[in-house]
Structure formats: C-alpha cells, structure tokens
C-alpha cells in the first residue's frame, strides 16, 4: 500500500480531485435549497420572506402573461431591494429603473426580459415587516 507521499503524481491528483468533489458535495447538501415564488417559477424568494399565496395569480393573455404575487417577512426593506437588484440580472432580467417611494423604506424596481416588464415594490410595513409585491405584464 502506498501513501500520498510515494504515490505517482497522477494518483495524487486523482485523490485530491476526489477529496475536493466530496467536500463540494457535502457543502452543497448542507445548504438550503433556493426557494422560488409558486406563481413565477424562476423568481427567487429572498430568505426571510414568505410568499403570500392567497394574493397571487397568473393569467396567460394573448400578448403575454400577467402575474401578481406578494411576499412578506421580517427583513430590512433595503436588504430586500438589494437582493432583487443583485439576483435578477443573473436570471435574464435587465434593470430599467430603481426609485425610492414617497415614504421611507419604499422602493420600486423595474426590469425587462423577453417582452415582459417586471415591477417589484418593496414596502417597509409595521413591526419590522417588509412587504414585496411582484407584477409581471407584457411590455
């Protein structure tokens, strides 16, 4: 039996690759799976938010889909806005505008993708809660 010090370079490389793969698999299985909105299969749900399924709907119109969905949770409204600003471009959404609302803690983010317009309203609610409203319409 050979140890790592006397093994051939190819064998050592194979052992390192195997150890790396095992570590990667353990790391990936220990994390939580990403959550998505039920009404929009590729819209991530920020950790700490819970989807408000009773206020969600999706309608397929001749010129595109119409979706309304909502989520809420005890997260900072600025963190929620930052989460969607940073995560949606990787899913093909192009940011078109971001503006603050009339009240503190309000932000509207607007994105476009393949003939659709996405608006996300982030609202600071009472008792540290944040509400996030998603609207997708044909562009």
- Mean pLDDT calculated for residue range 87-108: 91
The total number of structural domains that make up the chain? 2
Global confidence as pTM: 0.74
Does residue 95 have a pLDDT over 80?
yes
Split at pLDDT 50, 70, 90, the class of 23 is very low
Residues 67 and 117 in one domain: yes
Identify the domain containing residue 65 by its residue range. Answer: 50-138
- Mean pLDDT calculated for residue range 116-133: 94
Tokens matching residue 38: 């039920």
Residues 70 and 116 in one domain: yes
Q: How far apart are the first and last CA of the chain?
A: 67
What CATH number does the domain containing 111 carry? 3.40.1000.10
Does residue 131 have a pLDDT over 70?
yes
Q: What is the pLDDT of residue 93?
A: 98
Mean residue pLDDT across the chain: 83
Residues 10 and 71 in one domain: no
DSSP line for 83-126 = HHHHHSGGGTPEEEEEEE-SSTT-EEEEEEETTEEEEEEEEE-G
Residues 131 and 68 in one domain: yes
Does residue 57 have a pLDDT over 70?
yes
Residues 23 and 64 in one domain: no
Which residues are registered as beta bridge partners of 58?
67
């Amino acid at each position: 039996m050979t140890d790592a010090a006397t093994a051939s370079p190819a064998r050592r490389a194979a052992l390192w690759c195997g150890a790396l793969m095992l570590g990667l698999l353990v790391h990936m299985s220990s994390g939580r799976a990403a959550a998505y909105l039920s009404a929009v299969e590729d819209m991530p749900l920020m950790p700490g938010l819970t989807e408000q399924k009773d206020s969600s709907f999706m309608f397929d119109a001749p010129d595109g889909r119409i979706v309304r969905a909502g989520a809420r949770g005890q997260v900072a409204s600025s963190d929620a806005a930052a989460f969607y600003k940073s995560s949606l471009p990787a899913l093909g959404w192009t940011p078109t505008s971001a503006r603050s609302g009339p009240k503190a803690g309000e932000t509207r983010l607007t994105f476009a993708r393949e003939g659709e317009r996405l608006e996300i309203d982030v609202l600071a609610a009472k008792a540290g809660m944040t509400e996030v409203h998603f609207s997708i319409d044909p562009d």
